[in-house]
Structure 1
Amino acid sequence: MKIISFNPFRTIGMKNITYIKPENMFREIDKIKDADFILFPEYWQVNSLVYGLKKNIFPNIDTFHLGHNKVEMTRAFMATFPKNIPYTRIMGSSNSTIDIIEEEFGYPVVAKEIKNSMGNGVFLLENRNQLKNYINKNEILYIQEYLPIDRDLRVVYIGNKVISAYWRIAEEGKFHNNIAKGASYSFEDIPLQAVDLVDRVAKKLGINHAGFDVVEVEGKFYILEFNVLFGNEGLKHQGIRAEDYIYKYISNNDPNKPTFPGIKRKVIS
């Protein structure tokens, strides 16, 4: 199996792999055409690889498209698992926007930039001035109900299964649960209901590489979002190598791997 990776940091140690810089894609187009799998292309490459060259990519096209921004993934959640997401409004800015948000959500309320990660672009708004400042800086508004939590659960899904789950606990008095914002890990008391929810969501939406953020409020589980290029630090604490699971998954889906019909043969003695 011939594999090309556009991201060497996420595919360290894989066999039969060739690394190409994304910006050299068209210079190396013959190698790409000859490859069986393309790993971790950048988003601008995805459509050309899949629709133009008909290549197998990982993560798959479903993961890339739905994970491109919070609007795309949230609308997919609304359509498939509406009871498992916080109340959310996606809207443009208008003269009535502030009144609508204050009437439907009140304060505090959570506002997000539609493309960001590691806790960046997520704001806890506590008054009208903060809301106005957010609106002035964002053409698309992503407003979500505030949930009283001090931690979230990162559930890592690779291939066709959950491979890890751990709590990210915010520093006392802090709003963000992200490790990049100073949160800590806990690998104890992982709720199986949350793991099962992520498994069902990923299979329903066709996602094969994502770190899901799940929270629990009064015994109910909500998915906040998922990150296609999630951090691996929590996995390292558990001794888990994501690239091993990726390689096993694509090996099982190798287009050159021979398949045999499931015909039961009668044994004659």
Structure 2
Amino acid sequence: MRFITFDPFRALGIPDVTYIKPELIFAKKDVIKEADWVLFPEYWQVNLLHYVWKKNIFPSINTYHLGHDKVEMTRALQAFAPQHLPYTLIAPSNTDVEIIMEQFDFPFVAKEVRNSMGKGVHLISNSKDLKDYMGRNEILYLQEYLPIDRDIRLVLVGKKVVFAYWRIGQQGSFKNNVAQGGSIDFSPVPREVIELVEDVASNLGIDYAGFDVAMVGEHPYFFEFNVMFGNQAIVQAQVPLVKYILDYVNEKNSPHPPKPLAPAPSPRAS
């Protein structure tokens, strides 16, 4: 198959792939239209690739649209699995502070709607923190604080979680992101969390993402999912991500997909 990519790093190792600089999308239109798949386009490209040029894109259009920011993904999760989402308020910045305080006790969490790797996430401990956050953001994204010191990152490719691990926050920090100093723990993760992520992803049409899930007791809560997630743990664990991507697009491309040469190992689960 012929592949086009706009992200050479995420497509590294995929055979028969041609890299095109994103700004050359119109100049290279004929080459793109001849390709079987377009891999990892930028968000501004996906509508014209999918709706106008009718290209197969990976990740899927659903993945891009629902994963575009925290508002889109949260509303999707609220609609499909509200019992697995921390209590969340999305509101304009001119919302009355008293309305917010009727719904939250200190501390709670405030996030920027388009940020990742733990950036733009704030612990709101008092009214001054809240007013400062409201003054910097046009859209308020407020969420109850969960009493945890770790969460789970689950990497999904196609229809399956292919890798899962714990992220443990530094002492005194409420962020577990590896980019924010969190550590990686490859201990088994609960099987029910893997099944939950696969069910949600299947129903929402998401086929490539890093899902972040917190456990409060035995109950899982989604924080978010990221399309362009970090790969430090993937590299450390030598997860064959390219193989999983190729298996999936080959399966999508064929009415009678061949069996994979070797079974993909399941993520460790308790």
TM-score, normalised by the number of residues in structure 1? 0.93
Task: State, as a whole percentage, how many aligned pairs show the same letter.
Answer: 52
Letter in 1 for 2:70: K
Q: How far, CA to CA, are the matches of 2:194 and 2:251 in structure 1?
A: 23
Cα deviation, 1:161-201, whole Å, max 9, x if unaligned, reads: 00010000000111110001101011113111111111111
1:111 pairs with 2:110: yes
2:7 aligned partner: 7
1:200 aligned partner: 199
3-state SS of paired residue (1:10): coil
Structure 1, unaligned runs of 5 or more: 261-269
TM-score, normalised by the number of residues in structure 2? 0.93
2:268 aligned partner: none
2:41 aligned partner: 41
The CA deviation at 1:93 is: 2.1
3-state SS of paired residue (1:144): strand
2:266 aligned partner: none
1:158 pairs with 2:157: yes
1:265 aligned partner: none
1:186 aligned partner: 185
Which 4+ runs in 1 deviate beyond 6 A? none
Q: How far, CA to CA, are the matches of 2:19 and 2:67 in structure 1?
A: 24
1:61 aligned partner: 61
Q: How far, CA to CA, are the matches of 1:251 and 1:238 in structure 2?
A: 24
Q: How far, CA to CA, are the matches of 2:244 and 2:188 in structure 1?
A: 24
Q: How far, CA to CA, are the matches of 1:93 and 1:67 in structure 2?
A: 22
The CA deviation at 1:258 is: 6.2
Q: How far, CA to CA, are the matches of 1:160 and 1:202 in structure 2?
A: 7
- Provide the aligned length of Structure 1 versus Structure 2: 257
Q: How far, CA to CA, are the matches of 1:197 and 1:253 in structure 2?
A: 23
Q: How far, CA to CA, are the matches of 1:103 and 1:62 in structure 2?
A: 35
1:243 aligned partner: 242
1:173 pairs with 2:172: yes
Alpha carbons of structure 1 residues 252 and 112: separation in structure 2 relative to 1, 3 Å: same
Letter in 2 for 1:39: L
1:266 aligned partner: none
Q: How far, CA to CA, are the matches of 1:78 and 1:146 in structure 2?
A: 17
Q: How far, CA to CA, are the matches of 2:21 and 2:185 in structure 1?
A: 36
3-state SS of paired residue (1:253): helix
Larger radius of gyration: 1
The CA deviation at 1:13 is: 1.4
Structure 2, unaligned runs of 5 or more: 258-270
Cα deviation, 1:9-43, whole Å, max 9, x if unaligned, reads: 01111111111111111111000010110000000
Cα deviation, 1:173-232, whole Å, max 9, x if unaligned, reads: 111100011010111131111111111110110100000000000211001100000111
3-state SS of paired residue (2:152): strand
3-state SS of paired residue (1:135): helix
Q: How far, CA to CA, are the matches of 1:33 and 1:220 in structure 2?
A: 46
Letter in 1 for 2:22: P
2:76 aligned partner: 76
Q: Following superposition of structure 1 onto structure 2, how do residues 212-251 of structure 1 map, counting pairs within 5 Å?
A: 212-251=211-250
3-state SS of paired residue (2:9): helix
3-state SS of paired residue (1:189): coil
Q: How far, CA to CA, are the matches of 1:57 and 1:192 in structure 2?
A: 30
Q: How far, CA to CA, are the matches of 1:39 and 1:178 in structure 2?
A: 26
The CA deviation at 1:259 is: 4.8
Cα deviation, 1:138-159, whole Å, max 9, x if unaligned, reads: 1110000000111110000001
Alpha carbons of structure 1 residues 173 and 81: separation in structure 2 relative to 1, 3 Å: same
Letter in 2 for 1:87: Y
